[in-house]
Amino acid sequence: MNTSFGILSLLPPLVAVGLAIWKKQLLPALLLGIWAGEAIIAHGNIPGAFVKLLDDATTILGDKVNLQIVLFSVLAGGLLKLINESLGFQGLIDWLNKKNILRNRKAVYPLTYLLNISLFIDSWSSILITGFIMRSIYSKFGISRERLAYFLHTIALNFVALVVLNSWGAYYLSLLNAQRVHDPLKIIIGSIPLNFYCLGSLALVMIVMITEFTIGPMKKFEKLAQEQVPRASSAGKGEHEDRGAGRKHLQPKAINLVLPVVLLIFCVFLGLYLSGKGNLIKGAGAASLFQATSITILVMIIFFFVNGTFKLKESTEIVFKGMSDLLPVGALLVLAITMGYVCRQIGTGQYLADIVKQGLPAFLMPALAFGLSCVVSFATGTCWGTLAIMVPIAMPVAAALGISPSLIFGACVGGGVFGNNCSPIADTSILTGMAAEINVIDHVKTQIPFALIVASVSFAFYIIAGLVS
């Protein structure tokens, strides 16, 4: 595919991000952004570009891994709905209240952190499950859902990016193996303490939780949430009681949440182990998630039938209702992946990389690798796509200049995570908005100031690291 479209290659992400922030409508913004990219490829043939858009979206779904990711996101809706209808979320909340764990606002924060990192195998599961558990609790204590979204997205994504026993680690290895570097696993492990953005983001979340520090648009949402405390508190059990009115025979039970979560994690690890032939890092992440979710749903349907919670027909209807609720999320994910595909076709990331990769002072290379990764990932909404562009560029340059490969790799990963952490067209941004039940653009606007603080500090650290090394 021709990648010499120059500055025009920036148009699709600019259209998508600009329209999304302006109109707060993500689906049409992505659609128009992709259409603009297809029109560039088709040399101005607008009708033909739309047909090509549909064809590319179909191609995206035809890819086995992409299809498994989309199916997982839809199936996750069915599983979460099943847990919710069985009062599993409320059961855990009741247990936490009984143990007097949720005493005040600040007691809620450590629980959020622990839940997020305990589901480290995958950022999507971590965001969805923790969000469903915590969102009514946050409303009860007058904490904005936007603050919850910041915690969910930042903890899940940055922690998963640092853990190598998941699909991220396998992807890192494949990228480095393609560059024929010596001892790629050692480079990956060595990059963890040098990934200043991910470590800094996790540290800032802790600081925000301890001090309740607020900046930018988050202040408005925090004020609104505190004003609504009486209404949220009077509802008490909020969304669960309203939803459960038709099944008064059910009693909230924490086991209805704990069992599927434990089973899901176990099946994911088992899937990684089997698909990796004994090596978790080499396991198929997307396939393991899809299969684990399917198995968990099936087991829970049988479990609820045996203990008399639901009849088989009831459970099936609940699962399909939950899946239908997440169909818009599935559509957004298809468009988000298609946007990344189109950006690769017209060379958006490569164009940005080519601008700055020539004639760089050696000590600036880590900082520039990080900064460029931030720009590319924000423009394309994908960390993995950014790494696919940056690693083949940055690693050979680092080797030629005698720079630590772990330092450069950590910079590329951290920069890639930045965009995934705050771009409105990132898949995890879309999922976080759904999990916290807020507008995706509101989440992005409140997330960006915190991400920029860490990115600025990280950039300075990479300059210092470049000088020292």
pLDDT for 169: 79
Confidence (pLDDT) at 241: 42
Could you tell me the two tokens for 417? 């995570």
pLDDT at 453: 96
Rounded CA separation 72/428 (Å) = 13
CB atoms within 10 A of CB 213: 12
97 vs 358, higher pLDDT = 97
Place of tokens 């720079």: 403
The reported pTM is 0.79
Find the length of the chain: 469
Whole-number mean pLDDT of the chain? 85
Q: Are 454 and 350 in contact (CB under 8 A)?
A: no
Exposed, middle or buried by CB within 10 Å (0-12, 13-18, 19+), for 458? buried
DSSP 64-108: HHHHHHHHHHHHHHHHHHHHHHTTHHHHHHHHHHHTT---SHHHH
Q: What is the pLDDT of residues 237-266, one digit of tens each?
A: 444 444 444 455 688 999 999 999 899 889
Residue where the block lists tokens 């680092």: 398
**In this structure, which amino acid lies at residue 75?**
L
Q: Locate 400 and state its tokens.
A: 């030629």
- The span from the CA of 410 to the CA of 41, in Å, is 34
CA distance 435 to 256: 19
Would the pLDDT of 79 be above 60? yes
Mean pLDDT for the stretch of residues 197-219: 94
| Average pLDDT score over residue span 35-54 | 93
Between the alpha carbon of residue 189 and those of residues 173, 186, 195, 409, the distances in Å are 11, 5, 10, 10
Query: Could you give the residue ranges of the DSSP H alpha helices within 179-326?
Result: 184-191, 196-211, 218-227, 229-235, 238-243, 255-275, 285-306, 312-325
What's the mean pLDDT in 374-386? 85
Q: Is residue 347 helix, strand or coil?
A: coil
Contact 370, 458 (CB under 8 A): yes
